[in-house]
Amino acid sequence: MKKLNSTFPIALSLIWALTSCNGNNEDKKQDTGSPDTIKAGISRTDWGEFDGKKVYLFRLTNTKGSEVKISNYGGTVTSFVTGDRAGGKSDIIIGFDSLNNYLRKPPYFGALIGRYGNRIGNARFKLDGKEYKLAANDGKNTLHGGLKGFDKVVWDATVMNDSLPSLTLNYVSKDGEEGYPGNLKGTVQYTLTEDNELKIEYNAETDKATPVNLTNHSYFNLTGDVNNTILNHTLMIDADNYTPVDGTLIPSGEIKTVKGTPFDFITAKAIGKDFDSVKGGYDHNWVLNSKGGSLQKVAVLSDSLSGRSLEVYTTEPGLQFYTGNFLDGKFNNHDGKPINLHTALCLETQHFPDSPNKPGFPSTILKPGEKYHSETVYKVVVN
């Protein structure tokens, strides 16, 4: 991977212009001017500003006609347009076309999640004999990094001089931010391949031991139309076990078989098939048979209307399958249609929720000198 030479004029244009503006970001002008082409397969549009930093929307395209849009606000994937069986195209990811909508704090649509994806029970954990207190932003628990997680910060963006369209985002989370110990340097690279794969690579380093669990929170509806429920999609998850949860969605610490339960997706089935027997809908962590470590196919989501399938590959040991149980029509998708209950779902690759308090779960502690590395690929296939 080579960075664009700094004498290259387009690379220069990527150096952020820091502004002295502050105040109500909701009122900031949304510059949705014409895109600048950075290199083949990548263009960039000014999208406004937040926290005194410029926000951009990057558009990555491949020669197969697919496109992905990503903002450096929250490292958010705002759109993933792909073909369907009938030769049409649509957006299979929930998202918005303006920064202002993201500032209304939607439920993590498309965003990067950190420092810790999913919940930590009672918003606290002990590490090396010391107790750390986090923000309780989900009842008494902490969710997705706290009040201002990695989804609500502006990342520094660099376009790499790779053969494929690829965007690298950097964020330094300060020691004590949201209660977590250590300065954590996080790097996330998004790449769109010629095989219609959105590849996400996460790297991080710290100067004090800290929990780290990074993921992406894209919501999918493979029909491309949120008027269609995702309960008709079929899903396979290659996991013999899952982690049962309490009423506040904190795992009990047990690892239970999916056999004979509604959590059995070993053989692909309609999501709606056993849905009514899961109180509140699916919002659980599956313990992947791949166990993590190497990139393996762990799930396949399919939609018979469009002919699209989404294959999920990851190096992570867990997968949070969430059926949009809290979607309530408050936000409208790109096309103006309300995003209602069960009209989009998430397949979040991760370590297990509440691992810092669950000694039996794979560790999420990153120590100084170690390198955090994780990869996930979302591949769209048309049948």
Please report, as ranges, the residues that interact with ligand BGC according to CB under 6 A: 107-108, 118, 249, 283, 320, 322, 326, 346, 348
User: What's the closest the beta carbon of residue 86 comes to ligand BGC, in angstroms?
Assistant: 31
Taking the C-alpha atoms of residue 149 and residue 116, their distance in angstroms, rounded to an integer, is 9
User: What's the closest the beta carbon of residue 14 comes to ligand BGC, in angstroms?
Assistant: 31
Contact 19, 178 (CB under 8 A): no
348 classed as catalytic: yes
Comparing CB distances to ligand BGC, the nearer of 176 and 326 is 326
Comparing CB distances to ligand BGC, the nearer of 56 and 116 is 116
User: What's the closest the beta carbon of residue 4 comes to ligand BGC, in angstroms?
Assistant: 35
Which position among 177, 316, 348, 351 bears the catalytic label? 348
- The two tokens of residue 357 are 């308090």
Taking the C-alpha atoms of residue 230 and residue 303, their distance in angstroms, rounded to an integer, is 9
Contact 364, 356 (CB under 8 A): yes
User: Distances from the Cα of 276 to the Cαs of 219, 231, 256, 327, in angstroms?
Assistant: 21, 11, 20, 17
Taking the C-alpha atoms of residue 160 and residue 182, their distance in angstroms, rounded to an integer, is 28
Comparing CB distances to ligand BGC, the nearer of 4 and 120 is 120
Comparing CB distances to ligand BGC, the nearer of 157 and 344 is 344
* Beta strands, E only, 10-51: 36-39, 42-50
The β-bridge partners of 374 are 202
Comparing CB distances to ligand BGC, the nearer of 194 and 254 is 254
Contact 122, 39 (CB under 8 A): no
Which position among 217, 284, 342, 351 bears the catalytic label? 217
217 classed as catalytic: yes
Counting DSSP H helices and E strands in the chain, the numbers are 2, 29
User: What's the closest the beta carbon of residue 117 comes to ligand BGC, in angstroms?
Assistant: 7
Segment (H or E) for 10: helix 9-12
Neighbours of 172 (CB within 10 A): 12
User: What's the closest the beta carbon of residue 297 comes to ligand BGC, in angstroms?
Assistant: 21
Residues designated catalytic: 217, 348
